[in-house]
Amino acid sequence: MVASVGHQCPECVAEGRRSQRPALTHFGGSQIGIQGYVTKILIFLNVAVFVIGAVAFGGSVFGGARGLIYLGGVVGPSFQVVGDPTIYTGIDDGAYYRLFSAMFLHVGIIHLALNMYALWVLGRSLEAALGPIRFGALYLLSGLGGNVACYIFSPNVPSVGASTSIYGLFAAYFLVLKRLGRDATSVIPIIVINIVLTFTIPGISIAGHLGGLVTGAVAGLGLAYAPRQNRTLIQSMALVVTFVALIGITIAVGAMG
């Protein structure tokens, strides 16, 4: 059926939309990333987990999340909670989920606020450039890489926080700007300052921050510099290889220990 001038039949419009290729970003991701949905979801999850851990287990939202151990997210070996006879299994006992859950836990409202602010600023820009799926994979891989580094280099020190992922976003943001031909020099002082703070402020996980930074750089290289031909395949392979390598390293270290 031919539509008259100035009118369109719904069936023709729907068929036309199905036949059109969706608009993609420079790196092959969906342009829906400009809405920042994944960034907002990640912030919501971090805040929700913090509130649950602080309130549900007798803590205080402003005083800190005392429930983080109960939520099973601390990176570290097996340990026993003081005053509680229950022994909580750690990575050494096969609780590898801690490598992921730890990146959604924070100790104190300031810890949470600083990380969420950084995620809000970096996340929206990177998600708009990479698309939601690629950005989400980058975030999780960076957090995983930082936590694996914690397990390897400081296995007896419990650690939590989204900063492992945030440092990975710093590295990827620099690479994305370079790939787009934009001035990335302004990012370098920010990264250097954060690295200096990592080494100078007590209580900060050096291994976690540097592990996240290196992992974000590796994943960011694969996402930003994959050639246009077979780009999605190469990007996927880069992410999968990084993930498998991190898991393999964790298992190997656990077996040796």
Domains of the chain: 25-256 (1.20.1540.10)
Q: Active-site residue 78, yes or no?
A: no
Task: Kindly name the residue from 163, 165, 186, 236 that is annotated as catalytic.
Answer: 163
Distance between CA atoms of residues 11 and 115, nearest Å: 47
Q: Active-site residue 209, yes or no?
A: yes
Instruction: Give per-residue pLDDT as tens, 162-177.
Output: 999 999 999 999 999 9
Question: What pLDDT, on the 0 to 100 scale, is given for residue 82?
Answer: 46
The helix, strand and coil proportions of the chain, stated in percent and rounded to the nearest 5, come to: 65, 5, 30
3-state secondary structure of 201: coil
Q: Who's near 213: CB < 8 A, 6+ residues apart?
A: 146, 167, 168, 170, 171, 191, 195
Q: How confident is the model at residue 91 (pLDDT cuts 50, 70, 90)?
A: confident
Question: What pLDDT, on the 0 to 100 scale, is given for residue 31?
Answer: 86
CB atoms within 10 A of CB 222: 23
Question: What pLDDT, on the 0 to 100 scale, is given for residue 56?
Answer: 72
Query: Whole-prediction pTM value?
Result: 0.84
Question: What pLDDT, on the 0 to 100 scale, is given for residue 185?
Answer: 83
pLDDT at 5 over 70: no
Residue with tokens 């220990």: 257
Question: What pLDDT, on the 0 to 100 scale, is given for residue 14?
Answer: 52
Q: Where are the alpha helices (DSSP H) in 80-205?
A: 98-101, 109-130, 132-153, 163-179, 187-200
Instruction: Give per-residue pLDDT as tens, 197-254.
Output: 888 888 888 999 999 999 999 999 999 999 989 999 999 999 999 999 999 999 998 8
Task: Kindly name the residue from 111, 165, 205, 209 that is annotated as catalytic.
Answer: 209
Instruction: Give per-residue pLDDT as tens, 28-72.
Output: 888 898 999 999 999 999 999 888 877 776 655 554 445 565 566
